[in-house]
Homo-oligomer: A and B are copies of this chain.
Amino acid sequence: MDSVCAFYQAVKEHEVVAGISFDYGAKHNHQEIPFAQHHCRMFGIEHRVIRLEFVGELFKSHLLKSGGAIPDGHYEEETMKQTVVPFRNGIMLSIAAGFAESRGADGLVIAAHAGDHAIYPDCREAFMKSMADAIRLGTYAGIEVLRPFILLSKAEVAARGHGLGVDFSKTWSCYKGGSIHCGTCGTCVERREAFILAGVPDPTSYASNEPLPAKPALR
Total count of chain A residues near the partner, CB < 8 A? 39
Check B139–A99 contact: CB distance below 8 A: no
Query: Does A208 have its Cβ within 8 Å of any Cβ on chain B?
Result: no
Query: Does A4 have its Cβ within 8 Å of any Cβ on chain B?
Result: no
Check A101–B87 contact: CB distance below 8 A: yes
Instruction: Give the CA-CA distance A53 to B50 in the complex, in Å.
Output: 9
Check B99–A121 contact: CB distance below 8 A: no
Known: A58-B50, A102-B58, A102-B59. A90 touches B97 (CB 8 A): yes
Give me 6 other A-B pairs in contact (C-beta within 8 A), A86-B139, A90-B94, A131-B134 excluded.
Answer: A51-B54, A58-B102, A90-B135, A94-B95, A124-B137, A127-B134
**For residue A102, which residues in chain B have a CB less than 8 angstroms away from its CB?**
58-60, 86
Check A98–B55 contact: CB distance below 8 A: yes
**For residue A84, which residues in chain B have a CB less than 8 angstroms away from its CB?**
140
Query: Does A85 have its Cβ within 8 Å of any Cβ on chain B?
Result: yes
Q: How many copies does the complex hold?
A: 2
Q: Could you write out 5 A-B pairs with CB less than 8 Å apart?
A: A59-B98, A127-B138, A130-B134, A130-B138, A131-B134
Q: Which residue of B lies closest to A120 (CB)?
A: B138
**For residue A122, which residues in chain B have a CB less than 8 angstroms away from its CB?**
138-139
Query: Does A48 have its Cβ within 8 Å of any Cβ on chain B?
Result: yes
5 closest pairs, A vs B, by CB?
A86-B101, A87-B98, A130-B133, A122-B138, A127-B138
Instruction: Give the CA-CA distance A88 to B137 in the complex, in Å.
Output: 13
